[in-house]
Amino acid sequence: MSSPKVIFGFHAVGVRLKTAPKSVIEVLFDASRRDARMQQFKARAQDAGVRLVEADGLRLSKLSGSHGHQGVAARVEHIPQTHSIDELLEGLEAAGTMPLLLVLDGVTDPHNLGACLRVADGAGAHAVIAPKDHAAGINATVAKVASGAAETVPYFMVTNLARTLGELKERSIWCVGTSDDAPGTLYQSDLKRPLALVLGAEGTGMRQLTRKSCDALISIPMMGAVESLNVSVASGICLYEAMRQRAPGTA
C-alpha cells in the first residue's frame, strides 16, 4: 500500500472532502485563523467526519513544503486512478462518450501544470497526457494550483509521446496541435469529434516530432502586440471552444 500524501489549500482539500472524504486521514488547520472561511471549512470537515488537528503556520509550511497553504493541509490516502489511457478510452467508448483529451509537450512548471489541470476539469476533458522525460509531475504545488483538479482529472505520463499520439490516431482520435504559424485558426476548426488538443510550452512550443505526429495544426488568433499566451490560458481557450462546439444545439 502506498504511503499517505499531503495536499493543501482550501480548494484542494475541499474537493477531496467533497469527492472522497473517507480517503482523508486528518485535516490540519491554523488555529490562529478565525475568519468565516476557516469556520466554514472546519464545519465541512466535521460534517464529513474527518479528524481536525490544530497546527501553527510553521508546521503547515513544513508539512506542505509551501507557504501558500492558506492555513489548511490534509494527510490523505491515494485514490485509485484509471491505470492506462487504453482503459480510459475503452470506458468512454462503452459509455458512448466522445473523448476530449489535453496533451502537453514540454510543460515543466508545476504552476502551469496545475492551471492546465484546473481548466481541463472545468471544460470536461477526460485526461491530460504528458511525456515522462519532459514534463512536471504531480506534487503538492500542482495540487494546490489545480484547486482539486489533480484529484479529478487523470494525468498520464507516457514514455514516448509521438507513439502515444499515433495510438490515439489509430483509435480515430483527431490530434490537433497549436502553432503560431498554422494556416487555420481554432475558430475555423471542427472540434465536434474525438479529439486530442496538443499544446507545447510557452516560447518553445511543441517538439518537432510531436508537431509532425499531429493530424492538423491550428493557431489562436492574436490581436495585440504579444506573440504567445501562457500554456494554461491557451489550453483553456482551446478546451472551452471544443466544449462550446459540442454543446447541444450548436451549429
Which residues of the chain fall below pLDDT 70? Answer: 1-2, 80-82, 250-251
CATH 3.30.1330.30 assigned to domain 5-76? The reply is: yes
> Which tens digits make up the pLDDT trace of 217-243?
999 998 888 778 899 999 999 999 999
5-8 and 72-76 beta bridge pairing: antiparallel
Instruction: Give residue limits of the domains in the chain.
Output: 5-76, 85-246
Within this chain, domains 5-76 and 85-246 share the same CATH topology: no
| Alpha-carbon torsion angle 108, 109, 110, 111, nearest 10 | -150
Candidate CATH numbers 1.10.1660.10, 1.10.10.10, 3.40.1280.10, 3.30.2020.10; the one for domain 85-246: 3.40.1280.10
**CA–CA distance, 142 with 136 (Å, rounded to integer):** 9
- Report the predicted TM-score, pTM, of the whole model to 2 decimal places: 0.75
Chain centroid to CA 113:
7
Binding residue ranges for S-adenosyl-L-methionine: 200, 220, 229
pLDDT digits (tens, 9 = 90+) for 141-179: 888 888 778 878 999 999 999 999 999 999 999 999 999
Any residues with CB less than 8 A from the CB of 16 and at least 6 apart, and which? 7, 23, 24, 74, 76, 148, 151
Annotated binding site, which residues? Answer: 200, 220, 229
